[in-house]
């Protein structure tokens, strides 16, 4: 039997990926840019094993069997890795051998926090190690599992370049700056209680491309300008600029979700209260010290500098006490991960 175990971190986008130009290859309509989080707090861990005795590919996610052979995205990732191994004649075992894959998240899946990003990044990385092709360009393969997964293969600040070619070979993630570049940048995750089932990111962005006018404007005009400006802000450690761009992009992404027909509503009342809280906090301290961003769900990711973590946590506990209606489930301080 051959066996490999890997871990992969979560990433949270400052400039969101939203909309595909190719559903199958997962090619986006805009660049996106994210921060990779520390694996201590949130990561996916995957063990992949190959053996002659295995009858079929089986995958277990958090202890439950999930479809693998019936999952076109997972099978595409596997095929791509196998092709690389075949091309390099690096096979450690016969290509026909079936796999057993066990994957776990060390954070609540119900929180809906970028679990597919860490999950697919980890799957691709584990498969690459198993088939002995780990030195290859893997972001273009992870992208085909889940778009945002391509950004979890690097630490620090990562940009997914949308690329132009139809075969997706130039749609890859590249590092913008390593985590050492801005070590005192921190993230707080505010998990907001929410029982309602949301439209998945995959479905939500598909509907947006079909029905939203705003999405075209964002992809064509706003994202290119914002991406250039945020890269500059990262290079210069300009937190206020980074914060403003991040918040504007999150707001515009959710405006697109509402511009979708029928609309996708991802944020709830507590999410909106967090937005208000952040702007009020920044106003009260007379400086932009805090930024929010929301993915396709009600949970908030707050960006701030390490020196402000304790004052912000105290203010959050004060504004969102645990017994109140507008409470947040838990709050964590998470530094950016290194590779």
Residues forming contacts to ligand DP6 in the complex (CB under 6 A) are 13, 16-17, 26, 32, 116, 146-148, 201-202, 295-296
With respect to ligand DP6, which residue has the nearer C-beta, 295 or 308? 295
Residue nearest to ligand DP6 (CB): 147
> Smallest distance, Å, CB 70 to ligand DP6?
17
With respect to ligand DP6, which residue has the nearer C-beta, 16 or 289? 16
Pairwise CA distance, residues 131 & 123, whole Å: 12
With respect to ligand DP6, which residue has the nearer C-beta, 16 or 186? 16
With respect to ligand DP6, which residue has the nearer C-beta, 147 or 168? 147
> Smallest distance, Å, CB 206 to ligand DP6?
8
Task: Give 89-139 as a 3 state SS string.
Answer: CCCCCCCCCEEEEEEEECCCHHHCCCHHHHHHHHHHHHHHHHCCCCCCCCH
CB 131 within 8 A of CB 91: yes
Pairwise CA distance, residues 142 & 122, whole Å: 9
> Smallest distance, Å, CB 296 to ligand DP6?
4
> Smallest distance, Å, CB 176 to ligand DP6?
14
Q: What angle (nearest 5°) sits at the alpha carbon of residue 114, between those of residues 112 and 118?
A: 130
3-state percent helix, strand, coil for the chain, nearest multiple of 5: 40, 25, 35
> Smallest distance, Å, CB 116 to ligand DP6?
5
CB 80 within 8 A of CB 144: yes
């Amino acid at each position: 039997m051959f066996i490999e175990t890997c871990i992969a971190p979560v990433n949270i986008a400052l400039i969101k990926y939203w909309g595909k130009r190719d559903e199958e290859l997962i090619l986006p309509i805009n660049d996106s840019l994210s921060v990779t989080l520390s694996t201590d707090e949130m990561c996916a861990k995957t063990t992949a094993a190959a053996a002659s005795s295995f009858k079929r590919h089986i995958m277990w996610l958090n202890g439950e069997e999930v479809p693998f052979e019936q999952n076109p995205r997972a099978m595409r990732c596997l095929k791509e890795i196998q092709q690389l191994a075949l091309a390099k004649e690096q096979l450690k075992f016969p290509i026909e051998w079936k796999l057993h894959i066990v994957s776990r998240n060390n954070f609540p899946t119900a929180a809906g926090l970028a679990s597919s990003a860490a999950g697919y990044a980890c799957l691709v990385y584990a498969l690459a190690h198993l088939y002995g092709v780990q030195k290859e360009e893997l972001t273009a393969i992870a992208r085909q599992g889940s778009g945002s997964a391509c950004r979890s293969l690097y630490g620090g600040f990562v940009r997914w370049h949308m690329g132009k070619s139809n075969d997706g070979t130039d749609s890859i993630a590249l590092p913008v700056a390593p985590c050492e570049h801005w070590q005192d940048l921190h993230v707080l995750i505010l998990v907001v209680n929410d029982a309602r089932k949301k439209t998945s990111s995959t479905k939500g962005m598909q509907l947006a491309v079909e029905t939203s006018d705003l999405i075209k404007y964002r992809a064509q005009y706003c994202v290119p300008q914002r991406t250039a400006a945020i890269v500059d802000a990262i290079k210069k450690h300009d937190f206020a600029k980074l914060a403003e761009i991040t918040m504007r992009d999150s707001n515009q992404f959710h405006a697109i979700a509402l511009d979708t027909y029928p609309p996708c509503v991802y944020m709830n009342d507590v999410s909106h209260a967090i937005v208000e809280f952040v702007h009020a906090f920044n106003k009260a301290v007379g400086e932009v010290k805090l930024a929010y961003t929301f993915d396709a769900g009600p949970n908030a990711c707050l960006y701030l500098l390490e020196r402000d973590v304790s004052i912000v946590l105290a203010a959050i506990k004060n504004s969102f006490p645990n017994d109140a209606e507008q409470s947040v489930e838990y709050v964590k301080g998470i530094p950016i991960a290194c590779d």
